[in-house]
Structure 1
């Protein structure tokens, strides 16, 4: 099967400027050489600590943030090379669900206008057709048609996230980047939204890149999981492989922190290094209890493991 999305060598660096002339004195390497494949109909979970580059990767794929280098091949087209006109034609197939269900919705617009804005921008000029599709998609996410005439502040956090989901779905996209879609919600509401996303995936034949820092949520939602650390993907495997046989020391540490797990708690020492000056060799070595001399000299590649997973660790093969 051909991948719907293939990311190769993707980098997103942000310049650091200083002095009166605002000269560039360094680069923050938020995403620094990522390779990923997502198959049609698959949910790929992307997990890691805050600040590891997960959200930047998702937004770089959609070109909400312009990548510095690399390829983003969606449905056979390298979207990283498209001009604004051709990119607009692709955007209807690439949508995002934002983390913040409050800040991502314009408080001065009615819900119907928020959800239907993409339809108008993509050539659906008939008001009757837009209203029909808005009503249809609101029903799909569990909201009454009367919601279209109300403002976002009239809804709860979970309902507002449903509005954000409806906005992403109304154009019937092929791929949705779900950027921590439940992290800002009450625990009692999170499971409802997760179940909704799973049901919508089946109903609309969606493909998800599901970004989260909670491994339990990622395990529940995902077919495969990619673990990210300091701008690089360090392990990729099926959700079951990651859950039962994690290969990278960082993945083991993340799993040990999940409440209810029987694994011995692994407490990492030190802080996450700065993406401005990442460590030489393996980027995790400064916090890794297994680090050896080779880890400081040679950066490990994301290679295939006999288990079928892929891991970037000198000591896991």
Structure 2
């Protein structure tokens, strides 16, 4: 079996809630609360869930933009937290991030050339004509003209700005790319173009993706495996085809029932969840989904289910007492 490129073990990320004149900590927002999984080289792991489930926070922790409150991250067999100085700088070169909003993530005062080359400058990789060649090369890879380099972000459409953001992430030739809902801010007609570009670049540059999204149709198109998150925890994870064909967790079933179907008459019975998503400051005891679950029983309030294998024939895991 291949060694994982990235391993997460009980990763936690909490944000303090402060109140009063002295800004005392009165609670914690449990955005990510004990997440574990492995990502193999060349794989695309989709992370899905409702807004506020912690998927974007998880992506930022994996890419090193946020530091985990506790837990361990391992990249190519090395502890990420143990890296310092030059080692950490070299590690950041291999882990890049594509932001959700292509407008706010690009500095309007910088030319496209300087935006893309910012990573090259920080890493001290290339200067002068070599720097210019690398910028032009990656612009060509993402389907942009070379004269784009001397222009500014406001001169482009949303789809073109996202291509520039993708170029900025890939110019360093990373091994892992975390994409945080990279098509959600784009027109529907442009989304497929950007998705196809990401698929093509993955194959050509041998990339590994963590693809964060709330659109299940998008995730099913691009992902090899899918992790479903709810209130900071992974409730189900498995191969995309297996998860869509035979979901086990009630939350996954509810999400899939709301997914549009291309063929009329094939739509499953809609599962409507009652109530609202609980606050991540004070999640329910036991199973966090029990307050909205149609099959919840007494044990669900007393004991939190662990992520266990759902099938002996597939790498499919689910956290439910009755799945």
Please indicate the TM-score interval, normalised by the length of the shorter structure.
Answer: over 0.9
Q: Equivalences for 1:1-317 in 2 at 5 Å?
A: 1-260=2-261, 262-306=267-311, 307-308=313-314, 309-316=316-323
- Deviation, structure 1 residue 199: 0.1
In 2, the alpha carbon distance for the partners of 1:84 and 1:246 equals: 44
Indicate if the aligned counterparts of 1:63 and 1:80 stay in contact, CA closer than 8 A. no
In 2, the alpha carbon distance for the partners of 1:147 and 1:135 equals: 9
- Deviation, structure 1 residue 125: 4.2
* 1:197-222 deviation per Cα after TM superposition (whole angstroms, max 9, x unaligned): 00000000000000000111000000
- Deviation, structure 1 residue 278: 0.3
In 2, the alpha carbon distance for the partners of 1:73 and 1:295 equals: 32
Q: How many residues align?
A: 316
Indicate if the aligned counterparts of 2:4 and 2:41 stay in contact, CA closer than 8 A. yes
Q: Secondary structure at the residue paired with 1:44?
A: strand
Q: Secondary structure at the residue paired with 1:225?
A: strand
- Deviation, structure 1 residue 115: 0.4
Indicate if the aligned counterparts of 1:10 and 1:70 stay in contact, CA closer than 8 A. yes
The answer to which of 75-84 and 85-94 deviates more is 75-84
* 1:226-273 deviation per Cα after TM superposition (whole angstroms, max 9, x unaligned): 000000000001110111100100000000111126111111011100
* Unpaired segments ≥5 residues, structure 1: none
Indicate if the aligned counterparts of 2:64 and 2:92 stay in contact, CA closer than 8 A. no
* Unpaired segments ≥5 residues, structure 2: none
Where has structure 1 moved over 6 Å in runs of 4 or more? none
Q: Secondary structure at the residue paired with 1:285?
A: coil
Instruction: Give the TM-score normalised by the residue count of structure 1.
Output: 0.98
Indicate if the aligned counterparts of 2:115 and 2:168 stay in contact, CA closer than 8 A. yes
In 1, the alpha carbon distance for the partners of 2:283 and 2:37 equals: 21
In 2, the alpha carbon distance for the partners of 1:81 and 1:46 equals: 26
In 2, the alpha carbon distance for the partners of 1:313 and 1:67 equals: 26
In 1, the alpha carbon distance for the partners of 2:99 and 2:225 equals: 21
Indicate if the aligned counterparts of 1:94 and 1:176 stay in contact, CA closer than 8 A. yes
In 2, the alpha carbon distance for the partners of 1:291 and 1:246 equals: 17
- Deviation, structure 1 residue 166: 0.2
Q: Secondary structure at the residue paired with 2:81?
A: helix
Q: Secondary structure at the residue paired with 2:36?
A: strand
In 1, the alpha carbon distance for the partners of 2:107 and 2:305 equals: 44
Instruction: Give the TM-score normalised by the residue count of structure 2.
Output: 0.96
Residue 71 to residue 182, structure 1, CA distance change in 2 (3 Å): same
In 2, the alpha carbon distance for the partners of 1:97 and 1:17 equals: 30
Indicate if the aligned counterparts of 2:7 and 2:73 stay in contact, CA closer than 8 A. yes
